[in-house]
Amino acid sequence: MEHKSTEKVRCLIIGSGPAGYTAAIYAARANMNPVLYEGIQPGGQLTTTTDIENFPGYPEGISGFDMMEDFKKQALRFGADIRIGIATSTDFSDTLLKVVIEDEKVIEADTVIIATGATAKYLGLPDEAQYAGMGVSACATCDGFFYRKKKVAVVGGGDTACEEALYLASLAEKVYMIVRKDHLRASNIMQQRVAETPNIEVLFEHNTLGLFGEHGVEGARLVKRKGEPDEEIVEIEIDGFFLAIGHTPNSKIFADWLETDETGYINTVPGTPRTNVPGVFAAGDVADPVYRQAITAAASGCKAAIEAERYLLENGIRCNG
C-alpha cells in the first residue's frame, strides 16, 4: 500500500496518559521536538476514573480528565507537538524507526517512546458502562478510598482479585468476592490471607448477571451454579463493583519487534524503560503489570525521555535549540 506521506522526527511518543505526557514535557524541554500521538483514548485510563486523591500536589483531589488536561498544557507550553491519531503498525528493523499512523502516514523516528497503556478487562455487561465512575471500577488502589465503611464486590479469583479484596477489606465494611469457579486460582498464601480476613465473603460458582441502582451501583444480581439443577438467582447489596480479571496491555502493533511477557507487557531492562530494540523505550502501564499508578507511569515517562535524550547524544544525533 502506498503511504501518502513520510515525516522525519527526532522523538515520537505514542500514547497520552501520565507516561506519554510526562515524556513529552521532558523531551520538549531537552529540545528533542517530540511529536506525540494521543491514540484511542486521549488522556488514557485516568480519564475514566473518579477523582484522583493520591497524586502528590493535589491536596483537594482532581478529576482524571482535568489532571490530564494539565499535563497536556504543560507539554504544549514547552513546544511538544501533540496530535490526534492512532499508530496502526510499526517497523523497527532499521535504526530509523518507522511507525505508521492511521494506515497512511509514515513517521520515521530516531527514538520512539511507547506509552500506549493497558486496557482493563470487563465482563461485557451493559451496566458496566452505565455505572462507569458511579460504582464500577477496575482499580481498587485508585478508588477504594471512596468506599470506606461501605459494601463492595470484587470479580475474579486470581492473585490480583485477592490483592484487591484484601486492600478493600481494610477500608470497606464488607467485601464479596464473585468467583466463577468452585475454587480460587490464586496462590496458597493469597488464599490463606483471604480466608483469614473476617469481612471478606467468597461467593464461589457465582456469575454476575447485572447491576442495579438509582444514582449509582446499589446492588448486583448474580446467578449461582449456572446451568445446574439447583441454579438460583442471588442479589447482593453493594456500593462498589470492582473488576479484577486482568488487563490487556496495548502492545499488539509492536509484537513483531519487542520482547513481551506472556500477557503482552513489554519487557524492559530492569530499572529502566529500555526495550530490546535500541532507541525504543516503553513507559507506563504497557510495561508495568505491577503498580499501574498515575505517579509511577509519570515517573517512567520521565525516565524514557531522559534515556531517549542520552541515546540521541550517544549516537551523535543533535538536539537543536
Answer whether 154's CB lies under 8 Å from 168's CB.
Answer: yes
302 is catalytic: no
User: To 10 degrees, the CA torsion angle through 195, 196, 200, 205?
Assistant: 10
What are the residues facing 83 on neighbouring strands? Answer: 37
Among residues 142, 162, 239, 288, which one is catalytic? 142
What are the residues facing 18 on neighbouring strands? Answer: none
Among residues 139, 162, 285, 288, which one is catalytic? 139
Which residue, chain included where needed, has cell 468506599? Answer: 147
Which residue, chain included where needed, has cell 461501605? Answer: 150
Calpha distance 291→192 (Å, rounded):
23
319 is catalytic: no
Answer whether 37's CB lies under 8 Å from 101's CB.
Answer: yes
Among residues 110, 127, 143, 285, which one is catalytic? 143
DSSP 264-318: -PBP--TTS-B-SSTTEEE-GGGG-SS---HHHHHHHHHHHHHHHHHHHHHTT--
Residues annotated as catalytic are 139, 142-143
